[in-house]
Structure formats: structure tokens, C-alpha cells
Structure 1
Amino acid sequence: MNKIEKLDRIAVLVSVGRHRVSGVSCYSRNDAAALEIARTLAQKHGAQLEVLHAGDASNLALTDYLALGAPRIDVLACNDNDDAALLLAQRLQGVPLVLTGTRAEGAYDTGMLPYRLAEALGYALVESALDVAVQRDGVAITQFLPKGFRRGIEASLPAVVAVHPQAAVMPRYAHARAADGAIEPHRGSASPDSDAHAWRIAPAQRKPIKLAAAEKRSGHARMLTATTTESRGGNVVIEGTSVEKAQVILSYLREHRLVDY
């Protein structure tokens, strides 16, 4: 991997999401945060900003990114079963810094694109970035960790940075910028994804709500369970028919008012 000394180009990848209520195509909040960080870095360091999308140039949701500050969006023609990571890698060769969201929202949101893209380019990858600062030897990144922890790391250029949804940026929407921006379609040599035959596209299913009995013990009693081991009661039903076992479960649900019949 060749080390790049000068940050003259910054690329940000944008995707099309799906509104969680109406199902209408819209911009992704993750990619909007990545776009705002890329705009700030490009203005500060005098770098050229490139905004890329692999998909359909006629999608109206792309105009939202123009309103969010993208001066132009280069759209690489890509079908649903094409390898978008390979197509983007061909275009991004030589770009020192590539920013993207962690995953799409409601579309093909596997979260694997940053990893596959970094592998195809041979770049370093930093995920869950909250803040990106350019240094002489590379970039300094504040990384999101579970349970509210943060970690400062450094990476040399070139690199792919996946921005976390909780990044401390505030994208601003302006309709005038959407009118001034442009969407440029490009024909690329996309190839079918080798794993496309194993995909199954279906509507997302809402996760079932787990039934849990209301806690009736005092706060002191609940805190004692952290240091002591005690029996919480309950019945283990092994013998009996399936009807008798189901009756025990139904009685428990009625006792704790988890069902109303």
C-alpha cells in the first residue's frame, strides 16, 4: 500500500434509504453525517470533494444530498445484483480519504460495503468514527465504543472511514443548494455479485415483543440479587401432556396479567 502524503481529494459515498413509516425513498442519516464531515474537511484543507452513489441516477432521494451540501453527485450505474463495492473501488483508486456511513437505512443495509471496499482498494479501515481530523501523518479519529466509551486512534492515508450515526455534526438542509447542484450519471463496467444467487429480498419483519412479568420486589431486594444467589421461584413442568403444560403457561400469563383472556 502506497502512502499518500497530500490530502487533495476526499470522496464520500451516499446511499438511498427508506422511510421507516411511509416506505418512501429518502437520504440516509448515516451518509448525511459522513457528507457533513467530508465537506468540513474539504473546505479546511482545500481538497476536492467527490460525492459518489452506485445505483439509479433517477432516484429523487439523491436531490436531498444536494440540499445537504453536495455540489455534485456522480452516479455509477449499478443494478440490484451487481457488485457495488468492486464498481466503487474502480472509481476510487488514488483517492486518499473515503468516507461513508456505517450502513444504509432500509435498503440493502448489510453494513459490509465499507469492509469490502477497503479490501478491494487495499486501504486501512476505521469504523464507527465520531470525529475525523487530518494530521501530517494521516487522520486522527474519535471512535465510538459500546456503553458510552470513546477511543482516539490514528490511521495513515489512504483510508476508508465509516462514520457512526452519533457523530457530532448537524447537517443543514437548504432547498436552494438542491436547485444549484447536479446529478451526473456515469456508465461503469459493473459485474454481477458472486453471492447474488444466495440473496433473498423480503419485507422486514418486526421483532416479537418478549413478555416479562412486572417486578414486584423492593429496590433493596433487587440490589441484593447482584451479590447473593437466591431462588426466584417458578415451576419446571416435565410430566404431563402438551395440553397440561400449555395450561401451566397460560395460568402464569394470567397471574402476571400478561394476557387479558
Structure 2
Amino acid sequence: MNANAKLQRIAVLVSTGRHPVSGTPRYSRNDAAALELGRKLAQRHGAQLDVIHAGDPADPALPEYLALGAAQVEVLTCAASDDAAKALATRVREHDLVLTGTRAEGAHDSGMLPYRVAALLGYALVGAAVDIDVKEGRAQVRQFLPKGLRRRVEAALPAVVAVHPLADAQPAYAYARLRAGSVWPAKVAARAADPEAAAWRSGPVERKPVKFAAAERRSGHARMLGATTTESRGGNVVNTGTSVEKAQVILAYLREHQLIDY
């Protein structure tokens, strides 16, 4: 994108979630934050804002995005076994900025969709965004870091930005906007089945997943210092090497701390 070009088209990719207690379908809070940041950018730059979902047009949670400020929600009709990332990437190829939540809530919430869409488009990806602005053809993003830290990064447009749940956004729900907006289905030119769909198994959650955590061997004083400072705790940051070499580093760490036994 030319440095002097104007931000013209913004796409916000939204998913649907479920209430953690009742299981009732509802909008995704992560995607709602992305929508609010997209609305602010569209108003600031006079850009067109498209809110897009891949899935079932009859999903009862989709109209809630109208109440949160979307003028309309375009639904790319896809089956559960279709590759939604390919359909979305094809649809947003002409957009200058693509916003998503960090991950879905209560669906296929692997967190990989922003990465897959960015890879299919060949766009830069910025994750964990808490604030976004666009100047001179570049997205200026403030990223969330642990322990209250933040950092600013830039990416040339077009780009994909995944918005963190703690983003500087406060979506406001208005019933009048829900009645005024519309959800409309759009045909997908070439639906592609996800190659991994055959291995999926859907069912109720029986127990919460167990997170791997190395045994804490430091003193109480050292642990208290670690909670308030940012010094290294002995981990390794691996930026070079092939994917196989990086996987071997992870396996070596897991074996060292006896988190796996193979």
C-alpha cells in the first residue's frame, strides 16, 4: 500500500460463542472488541467497514453484532467441515485492514484463524492488539504483554490484526441498532473442505484441559520478585532454525521438566 494512500476498506471477521454456564449462543467478546476498534477507525478515516462471518446465516448470535454497531453482517455460508479460512481470505483480499479477535469462544477456538488468513493472503500479522491507528499507509499497534507491559509495533498495510480481549474498547449494546441492521447470506464461489475435518470429534466438555507447567523450584522470595519484575526465568527464545528444530527445543524442555514421558 502506498504510504500516502488512504485507509478505505476495513474488514472485521466475527465468530459466535456460547455462555460458559448456560451454553446459550452469544456474540464473541473478543470479536466485539475488534468490531469496536474497527468502528473507531472507520469513523476516523472515513473508511468502509464490512463485518463478515463464515458459517450458518441462521445462527441466533449473529444479530447481536448489529446491536454492537455493525450496520449489517455478511455471512459466507459454510458447513462445519468447510475451510472457513479460505472463504474469508478470498472475501477480504481487497481490504486494507483485517481485524479479528484473538480466538473464538466456545467453538473451534484454536486461535489459528488470524494466522491462516494472513498466510493465505500473504499479509503481515500483528497479534494481541489493544489499540490501533493508521498513519501514512502503516498500522500502528499497541500490543499487550504480560505483567502490564505494552509495546508499539508497526506493519505496512494491508495487514491482519488480532485484537486482545483487554483491548481499549468498550462495546455498547443498543437494541435499536439491532432492529435497524440486517444479517444477509452470501454465496461462496468455491467451497473447500477442511483437510483435517475428518479427524475432528465434537462433544460436551468432560473436564478442563490440564496446562503443562514446570515444577517451581525457586524460593518464595525469588517467586515474589519474579511476579513484579521482568527478568528471564531461564527459558529460551528460539527465532532461528527450521520448524523441526524448534519443535525439538520444545520437546527437550518438556522432557527436562518431566512434563511428558516419551
Helix, strand or coil at the partner of 1:79: coil
Within the alignment, does 1:109 sit opposite 2:104 as a pair?
Answer: no
Residue 203 of structure 1 aligns to which amino acid in structure 2? P
* Cα 1:81–1:147 shift into 2, 3 Å: same
Correspondence for 1:48:
48
- Asked if structure 1 preserves the Cα contact closer than 8 Å seen for 2:81 and 2:197, the reply is yes
Residue of structure 2 equivalent to 1:247? none
Question: Match for residue 37 of structure 2?
Answer: 37
In structure 2, relative to structure 1, the CA distance for the partners of 1:7 and 1:191 (3 Å cut) is same
In the alignment, what sits opposite 1:22? 22
Could you tell me which residue of structure 2 aligns to residue 177 of structure 1?
177
Counterpart CA distance in 2 for 1:156 and 1:82 is 31
1:186 aligns with 2:167: no
Q: Which runs of 5+ in 2 are unaligned?
A: 212-218, 226-262
2:133 pairs with 1:155: no
How many corresponding residue pairs?
A: 216
Q: Distance in 1 between matches of 2:157 and 2:209?
A: 44
Runs of 4+ with deviation above 6 angstroms: 224-227
CA contact 1:14–1:28 (8 Å) conserved in 2: yes
Following the alignment from structure 1 to structure 2, what is the Cα–Cα distance between the partners of residues 154 and 224? 35
Structure 1 residues 18 and 153: CA distance shift in structure 2, 3 A: same
**TM-superposed deviation, 1:187:** 1.1
Consecutive unaligned residues in structure 1, runs of 5 or more: 211-220, 228-261
Task: Give the letter for the 2:20 counterpart.
Answer: R
* Pairs within 5 Å for 1:1-261: 5-188=5-188, 189-207=190-208, 222-223=220-221
Residues 18 and 6 of structure 1, relative CA distance in 2, 3 Å threshold: same
Distance 2:168 2:223 in 1: 38
| TM-score (ref. length: structure 1) | 0.78
Matched to 1:197, the amino acid is A
CA radius of gyration, larger in? 1
* Cα drift, residue 135 of structure 1: 0.7
Deviations 1:185-219 (A, max 9, x none): 11102110011112222222333899xxxxxxxxx
Q: Distance in 2 between matches of 1:71 and 1:224?
A: 52
- Percentage of matched positions with identical amino acids: 56
| Separation (CA, whole Å) in 2 of partners of 1:222 and 1:141 | 37
What is residue 232 of structure 1 aligned with on the other side? none
- CA deviation digits over 1:87-115, x for unaligned, max 9? 01111111010000000001110100000
- How far did 1:222 drift? 4.6
| 2:251 alignment partner in structure 1 | none
What's the TM-score once normalised by structure 2's chain length? 0.78
Q: Distance in 2 between matches of 1:224 and 1:187?
A: 58
Aligned CA distance change for structure 1 residues 153 and 180 (closer, same or farther; 3 Å): same
Instruction: Pick closer, same or farther for the CA change 1:3–1:122 going to 2, 3 Å.
Output: farther
Contact in 2 for aligned 1:68/1:174 (Cα 8 Å): yes
Letter in 1 for 2:221: M
Cα deviation 1:212-231 (Å, max 9, x = unaligned): xxxxxxxxx9538989xxxx
